[in-house]
Amino acid sequence: MIPSEKTRVLASVVEAKWLTDDIVSVVFNAPDVARRAQPGHFVAIRAGQTEAPLLRRPFSIAMSDGRGCLTLVFRVVGVGTTLLAAKQLGDTLDVIGPLGHPFEIHDDRPVVLVAGGLGIPPIAFLARVLKARGIPATLYYGVRTQTELAAMGDVADHVARLIVSTDDGSAGHHGFISEVVARDVSGNCRLYACGPRPLLDVLIRLARERSLPAQLSFEQQMGCGVGACMGCSITTAHGYQRVCTEGPVFPAEVFFD
């Protein structure tokens, strides 16, 4: 797949709101980026103009509304995300995107979506596009506790079925979402996923054992975001590959031994 044409823009913040004590949604206007954004793409944002950190931060796109606005949903964990979470209506963001390889959409099998924690943004974006194309999907979503389900927004309106799990048992299955997926999913489906590496490792194993066509979006810290520094490289069966350029979406088979 040819990488998407990317654009650097100064985008205006339309909305910023806290979904939980540490999860934030930011909406900004960037028509040149939004018109090319696809599920699985990410943007690289310089959160501060003069403040540290100077390196851009990668954020998966949670929604493109078709009117030029993009939505990000992220957890506040450090200086960069703290600066971004503090943005207010009318503030400016320095944005490059869309970046990376997105999901490839197929409708030849039943579709299963899997998200863990803050892996939900690209999966929520994908769910919207699938519904718009008339492709029903089942979503499995796992979080630590019930309050974190707020990160998925209105994604339940865009899937045929939603199954949730919480680590503490406060909602849905008590345990990991990988346990439910392993129990439910047969070989007659197509799998799309994003989440922490332990979840993706389970799904890679299931894809291999059950001959599941699967695409996995990897969450990885990045330096440059454009393939120059090699800082986001991960090991595959074919050697090292960069999450920012060869990914963030990879077919599961590139990890098969």
Q: What is the pLDDT of residue 1?
A: 41
Sheet strands (E) in 82-121: 92-99, 111-116
Residue 115 and residue 87 share a domain: no
Quick: pLDDT tens for 158-167.
999 999 999 9
Residue 121 falls within a domain, yes or no? yes
Same domain, 192 and 232: yes
Is residue 171 in some structural domain? yes
Q: What is the pLDDT of residue 213?
A: 96
Contact in structure between 152 and 117 (CB atoms under 8 Å): no
Residues 22 and 130 in one domain: no
User: For residue 140, is it within any domain?
Assistant: yes
Indicate whether 125 and 194 sit together in one domain: yes
Percent of the chain whose predicted confidence (pLDDT) is above 70 = 95
Which of 44, 65, 99 lies at the terminal end of a domain, its last residue? Answer: 99
The count of domains in the chain is 2
179: domain range? 111-255
Distance separating alpha carbons of residues 141 and 194, to the nearest angstrom: 10
Domain's final residue, options 72, 99, 126: 99
Residues 232 and 123 in one domain: yes
Task: List pLDDT tens digits, range 53-77.
Answer: 567 889 999 999 978 999 999 999 9
Q: Based on the fold, state whether residues 167 and 208 are members of the same structural domain.
A: yes
CATH number, domain with residue 89: 2.40.30.10
